Amino acid sequence: SPPAITIRQIHSTLTHLVAPGSGPFVSVEGHALLEGDGLMTALPGVLPGTQTAGCVPVAVIDPEKCAVAVFHAGWRGTVAGIVEAGIGRMVREFASRPGDLLAAVGPSIGPCCYTVGKEVQTAFTKKFPYGAQLFQQDQLNLWEANRRQLLEAGVPPASITVVAECTGCARNAAGQKKYFSHRIDHGVTGRMMSVVGIVQTH
């Protein structure tokens, strides 16, 4: 199976390019070597991934240039603009056109379960003209925050899929919790990995 590449996530806007000669990304023991919160590549046969337990995984695909990216967007990374900055880098690295991009906002803590303090609300309302619209009282909608960044970066609305499943309260058919959640599980939990890649077709 293709190798999954991860990084040590630090709630930043730092994105790494996986290209011939870049890396190494993983130690001989299998630990991530680089810090950051985004990975992008045009190399077939590798799977850039992000690990989450409540933060938002955002995957972006450029089917025209055969390039992909994945971002880890907690509230700090979201307010710092990791997704918009990451798409800007895709434009520079791959000559991507935002109108060609497809994006998915994966499962994360939902507005139903994500109560935040005044400092978080202030950070969003100061940074974004639409910041106040991301809150229902003291509950933050990170899905919408990242969807808005994708729109601001030029991704067409119809090209954005928001999974809209809350890692805090989503249940499967048997009534069991579907996802790990750092917040709901009080810090003692696992991680989900979201990966994206390019298949070698010839």
pLDDT in tens, 10-68: 899 999 999 988 878 877 777 888 899 999 999 998 999 998 878 999 999 999 999 99
Peptide bond into 107 cis (omega under 30): no
75: β partners? none
Spatial neighbors of 134 by CB under 8 A, at least 6 apart, are: 124, 128, 140, 141, 144, 145, 148
Spatial neighbors of 162 by CB under 8 A, at least 6 apart, are: 104, 105, 143, 144, 147
102: β partners? 61
Residue 100 confidence (pLDDT) above 90: yes
Residue 52's pLDDT is 87
What is the DSSP pairing of strand 160-162 with strand 102-105? parallel
pLDDT by residue (tens digit) across 116-169?
Answer: 999 999 999 999 999 999 999 999 999 999 999 999 999 999 999 999 999 988
Helices (H), 9-81: 75-80
Question: Could you give the CA distance from residue 17 to residue 23 in angstroms, rounded to a whole number?
Answer: 9
Closest CA to 142 of 156, 128, 159, 158: 128
Residue 190's pLDDT is 72
Spatial neighbors of 128 by CB under 8 A, at least 6 apart, are: 134, 145, 148
- 57 and 30 Cβ atoms separated by less than 8 Å: no
68: β partners? 41, 61
Higher local confidence (pLDDT), 42 or 172:
42
Question: Could you give the CA distance from residue 169 to residue 159 in angstroms, rounded to a whole number?
Answer: 27
